[in-house]
Structure 1
Amino acid sequence: MNIRICRPITSSGLRDAHGLRVLITGASGTFGRALSARLTELGAQVIGLDVAPDPTGPGTVLACDITDDASVAAAVETAISRLGGLDLLINNAGVGGPAPAELAPGAEVRRQLEINLLGAWRVTAACVDALVQSRGRVIMLCSRMAVMQLPLAAAYGASKRALVAYADALRLEIGSHVGVTCVYPSAVRSPIHDSTATAGLSLEGMSRYEPLEGVVDTVLRAALGPVRRDMTTTRRGAVEFFLSRHLPWLTDRIIARTFARQARSGAFDGAELAAGVVRRQARA
Structure 2
Amino acid sequence: MNLDTLLGGGRRSATGLRVVITGASGTFGRALSTTLTSMGAHVVGLDVAPREDDPVTVLACDVTDDESTSSAVARAIEILGGLDLLVNNAGIGGPAPAELAPSAEVRRQLEINLLGTWRVSAAASPALVASRGRVVMVASRMAVMQLPLAAAYGASKRAMVAYADALRMELGGLVGVSCVYPSSVRSPIHDSTAAAGLSLEGMSSYESVEGVVDTVLAAALSKRQRRDLPTSPRGRVEFFLARHFPLLTDRIVRTTFVSRVASGAFDDAELAQGAVARRDLVAGAER
Give the gaps of 5 or more residues in structure 1.
Answer: 1-9
Partner amino acid, structure 1, of 2:185: V
Q: TM-score, normalised by structure 1?
A: 0.95
Specify every segment of 5 or more residues in structure 2 that has no aligned partner in the other structure, as ranges: 1-6
Identity between Structure 1 and Structure 2 (%): 72
Question: How many residues were matched structurally?
Answer: 275
User: How big is each residue's C-alpha offset from its partner over 1:181-216, in whole Å with a ceiling of 9 and x where there is no partner?
Assistant: 000000000000000000000000000000110000
1:60 aligned partner: 57
The answer to whether residue 253 in structure 2 is matched with residue 255 in structure 1 is: yes
CA-based RMSD: 1.2
2:122 equivalent to 1:125: yes
CA distance in 2, matches of 1:96, 1:27: 16
Deviations 1:84-137 (A, max 9, x none): 000000000000000000000010000000000000000000000000000000
Q: Does 1:243 align with 2:264?
A: no
Letter in 1 for 2:161: V
1:79 aligns with 2:76: yes
Residue identity in the other structure for 2:92: V
Partner of 1:188: 185
Residue 278 of structure 2: aligned partner:
280
In the TM superposition, residue 11 of structure 1 has moved relative to its aligned partner by 11
Residue 209 in 1 paired to residue 206 in 2? yes
Query: 1:173 and 2:159 equivalent?
Result: no
TM normalised by structure 2 equals: 0.94
What does the per-residue CA deviation read over 1:47-74, in whole Å, with 9 as the maximum and x for residues that have no partner? 0000000120111000000000000111
TM-fit CA distance, 1:15: 1.0
- What secondary structure, in the 3-state scheme, does the structure 2 residue paired with 1:22 have? strand
Letter of the 1:260 counterpart = V
User: What's the CA shift for 1:12?
Assistant: 8.9
The whole-number CA distance in structure 2 between the counterparts of 1:273 and 1:176 is 44
Q: CA deviation at 1:175?
A: 3.7
Tell me if 1:17 matches 2:18.
no
The letter of the residue matching 2:82 is: G
In the alignment, is residue 109 of structure 1 matched against residue 106 of structure 2? yes
2:278 match: secondary structure: helix
Give CA deviations for 1:19-39 in whole Å, capped at 9, x if unaligned. 000000000000000000000
2-structure distance, mates of 1:240, 1:11 = 22
State the alpha-carbon separation in 2 of the partners of residues 175 and 247 from structure 1. 31
CA distance in 2, matches of 1:28, 1:282: 45
